[in-house]
Every structure is written in structure tokens, then in C-alpha cells.
Structure 1
Amino acid sequence: MKPNRTLQVTALGVGFAFLYIPILSLVVYSFNESQLVTVWTHFSTRWYAALAQDDELITAFWLSLRIALLTAFASVFIGTWAGFVLARMGRFRGATLFSGMINAPLVIPEVIQGISLLLLFIEMGKWIGWPERRGFVTIWIGHVMLCMSYVAIIVQSRVRELNPSLEEAALDLGATPFKVFFAITLPLISQALMAGWLLSFTLSIDDLVLSAFLSGPGSTTLPLVVFSRVRLGLNPEMNALATLFIGVVTVGVIGINYFMLRAEKRRLAGLA
């Protein structure tokens, strides 16, 4: 093996070890009988049973899941149109402002965004009576504001890579712009939409800062519950929860990659 090759393999191995050894240790200690997360006694699933009986965590999980699903769909819907406009509409009056507003959530710290939205909702409540209190809807709005920017950037990059001759041919044959978008453009950017959906879902279900500012009584998300408990000390129950998340995410990523590769193979076979 050449020296450069050896160095590359070593660096790659160290990087993977740095990333995955902590995750592996977390999974292993989730099956630990001891209440001390760093002291192994013997194998047990007691913390998974305790997790199933933890009403606070289960309630917070379902709330975070609902918010994340709605955020992902709304972000893809809004971000797709925004990205398409940025990629295809060229220069128009207000284009710089529009682009800046789309990109702003990517560079503004979440603390600033959370404070801004909190003040906005407070003033709206004074003037129009909505929202009456912070909760599910306010968290969802904040997450959509953040995630749609990521989707718009992903879609914009993918649309710019497309060959416009396909859409132009469809227009020449009499198809309307909307028909061209839904019949040709949308299938071609479907992988970008899937990537944007997954990224939005992950950012939403993992968000702590915005949720802390926009949540209210009875609307505590899972990251807020976990953070409040971890501050008081490590709990093996958190290891069990994290292991379940790792398992679900791993299965989901493998499944989505499998279907995306199959779709790409079918597309290439159709072009051959």
C-alpha cells in the first residue's frame, strides 16, 4: 500500500472512529442494568421498559413528531416554489430582497430568530388576539421559517442543473407551464425534494433553541424534555431513547437510499 493511500485510510478510520465510537457506546450502555451510565453491570432491557412507561417523554415525542412532519411538508411546499423562482425567474424587481429573505434564516443565529418571533407573536396577541398563547402552532411556524430556507437552496441548486431543453420541448408541444412543472420538472427534482424533506424533518425534531422561545405550557417538545433532564444528570433512560432514534433513522436512511437508487436506475434505463 502506498504511503499516501495508508495516510488516507488512517485519517478516514480516525474520523469514523471519532464519530461513531460515542454512538456505539451509547447503544451498548442503553442495555446496562446499572443506574450509572458509565458503570457496566450486566445486560438488561429495564430502561426500555421504563421508557415505555414515561408519559412525559412519550407525550413530548408525539408532539415533536407531529410538528416535524408538518414542518417537513410545509417547508418542501414553500421552499420548492422559492427555489424554483430563484433558479428560473432571472432578475426581477425585488429579486435581491427576495433572495436575502430566503437566505436570512441560514445565517441569523437561532437565538435572534427565536427572540424576534417571540416578540412578533406577543405583539400580534396584543393587536389581533392571536395567538392567545404559545404552543404547537407557534413552534411549527418557527420551524417552517428555518427549514424552508434549506429546502429552497437545495431545490435551487438542482433546478439550475437541469437541461432546459426538456421543458422547452414540452412547451413547444403545447403544454402549459404548470403542466410542464408537474409532469417534467417535479419528477426530475424529486430526489432534491426528498433530501429537503428529510433535512427539514431532522432539523425540526432536533430543534431546541426556537422551541424554547416559542413553546408554552403543555407544548414541551422532546428536545426540551431531554435537555431539562440531562442538566440534572445523565439518565440511562436517555440512552434507550437515543438508541431507538438511531435505529429508526438508520432504517429510514437505508430504505430511502435504496428506493432512490432504484428510481435513478429506472430513469437511466429509460434514457438508454
Structure 2
Amino acid sequence: MKITGLSPFVFACMILGFVFLYAPIVMLIIYSFNASRLVTVWAGFSTHWYGELLHDQQILTAAFLSFRIAFMNGVLSVIIGTMAAFALVRFGRFWGRSVMIQSISSRLVLPDVILGLSILLLFVSSRSLIGWPDQRGVLTILISHVTFSSAYVAIVVQSRLAGLDRTFEEAAFDLGAPPFAVFRTITLPLIAPSLVAGFLLAFILSFDDLVIASFASGPSATTLPMVIFSKVRLGISPEINALATIIVVVVALGVAFAGNMLQRQNAQR
């Protein structure tokens, strides 16, 4: 017996996998519309907590700060990660290439606690030696996020560059096009999906980070995950469910946009 082209066992495993992955998110979204202050007791449908969320100045300020840091982190990580990917793919073997590969790979497996502690010690040592930074804040959080996000972007862009057909670039060079024009009109559009994917990945990693931001931040900068963590320690509030639902919707729209862009480019190719 076949179900949608799959055996019953494979179909059942697929359903269980989707339930395991998305049932907690679905329950969170449902309880964000709960009228009761107790998140585990359903008291009817209500959008009251979304209105309360819009009046919570602490959460709104932290959300705006996290969004601003995540956006800047995404842009800088794409620039640095793309440069690193081009160096690894297009420049062949050069002195320090193995060290560069190992340093990029180590960022992917290094625990956040170790990375956050090392960044904190770097900032403390830098302040004692050259007097910078005066205090930890937005800039130090941004620097710490770029240090690990750019590694993820480099891996994504590198995989795209490694499988890229270079005949279009070579044809443009044969026709007399300068290198920058070839990069702008041919290479950049071909790797655009990987750049978008890298940007979204860096954005989410920064927006979601708690451990590293806790080490790199100061009293003047409190990100959204830090605010949520401090609130959850005192008990889960329905406002947190509403905030999480909004974040899930925004992330889903971003992923859908990136997937649609990749699909359209594949159709054009």
C-alpha cells in the first residue's frame, strides 16, 4: 500500500518528525491568544496580550536594539564572509590558508560560553592596554557577533562558489569586461541566493544570541534574549508567548522570501 508515493512506514515517520519539530511552536502560538494570565490554563480566545506587549517599553526597546544589531551584523558578516569565501575558492593555495580554514571551522564548533568568555577577556585586556572600549555596549556586542556569524556566511558562500560555473565569467573576460563589471553583473547575481541565505542566518544567530551577548554587553545595552531570559526566570508571561509568535511569523516570512528568491533564480537558469 502506498500513500502519496511513500510507504506507510515512511509516511508515519515523516508525520512524527513534523509533529516533533512543530507541535511545540503550534502550542506556543495557540496559547499566545489565551485570555488567562496562567499560560497553562486555557480561558478563552483573546488578543489582550498582544496589546500589552505593544505597551511594554522594556521589551520594545530591547527588540529594537536586537534588530539593529542583527541587521548590522548580517551586513558586516556577509561582506567579511564573502571575502573569506572568495579567498578560499578563487585564490588557490596561499600562505596561511590552512590556518584560515581551521579558524573558520573552529567558530562553528566552539561552545558559546568559551567564545563569550574569550571575547570578554579581549575587551578587558584591550581597555587596560589602549583604553578602548570605555564600556561594553552595542559596539562590543556587534563585534562579538560578527566574529562567529561571518564564519557561517563564509561556509555558505564558499559552497556556492565552489559549484559555480565559471564559463560565464570567462566569456565576459574574453569580451573585454573589467573584473569589477564581471563581478557586479555576473558573479554577484549568481551567488545572490547564498548571500541572502548567509544574511538571514547571520541575522537569526545574532537576534537569538544570549550567551555571547551577556558577556559582551554592559548596563547600557540589553538585548531582547537577555530581557526574555530575565522575565522567564520569574515565570512565563503570556506576553512572552505573544512576542515569540511575532518572531516566528517574521522568521517564517524571511525564510519564505529566501526560498522564493532561490526558486525563481533556479527557474531563470
Per-residue deviation at 1:258? 2.6
Structure 2 unaligned residues grouped into runs of 5+: none
**Correspondence for 2:217 among 201, 215, 218:** 215
- Closer, same or farther: CA 259–96 of 1 in aligned 2, 3 Å: closer
Taking structure 2 as the reference length, what is the TM-score of the superposition? 0.95
1:203 paired residue number: 205
**Count of residue correspondences:** 267
2:155 paired residue number: 153
* CA distance in structure 1 between the partners assigned to 2:189 and 2:253 by the alignment: 24
**Correspondence for 2:31 among 29, 32, 37:** 29
1:39-188 equivalent positions in 2, closer than 5 A: 39-188=41-190
Of stretches 192-201 and 161-170 in structure 1, the one that deviates more from structure 2 is 161-170
* CA distance in structure 2 between the partners assigned to 1:14 and 1:27 by the alignment: 20
2:117 aligned counterpart, secondary structure: helix
* CA distance in structure 1 between the partners assigned to 2:108 and 2:94 by the alignment: 23
* CA distance in structure 2 between the partners assigned to 1:33 and 1:40 by the alignment: 7
Mapped contact 2:193–2:261 kept (Cα < 8 A): no
Q: Which amino acid aligns with 1:68?
A: A
2:7 aligned counterpart, secondary structure: helix
Per-residue deviation at 1:198? 0.6
2:253 paired residue number: 251
Per-residue deviation at 1:126? 1.3
- Deviations along 1:125-149, whole A, 9 cap, x unmatched? 1111111000100000011111100
* CA distance in structure 2 between the partners assigned to 1:213 and 1:107 by the alignment: 18
* CA distance in structure 1 between the partners assigned to 2:64 and 2:133 by the alignment: 22
Q: Which amino acid aligns with 1:162?
A: L
Of stretches 171-180 and 235-244 in structure 1, the one that deviates more from structure 2 is 171-180
- Deviations along 1:20-66, whole A, 9 cap, x unmatched? 11111111111111111010011111211111111111110000000
Structure 1 unaligned residues grouped into runs of 5+: none
- Deviations along 1:161-213, whole A, 9 cap, x unmatched? 01122222222222233332222111111111011011011111001111010
Per-residue deviation at 1:226? 0.5
Q: Which amino acid aligns with 1:128?
A: I
* CA distance in structure 1 between the partners assigned to 2:45 and 2:74 by the alignment: 38
Q: Which amino acid aligns with 1:108?
A: L
Alignment identity in percent? 51
RMSD of equivalent CA atoms: 1.5
1:189 aligned counterpart, secondary structure: helix
* CA distance in structure 1 between the partners assigned to 2:264 and 2:159 by the alignment: 22
Per-residue deviation at 1:259? 3.5
Mapped contact 2:197–2:258 kept (Cα < 8 A): no
1:179 aligned counterpart, secondary structure: helix
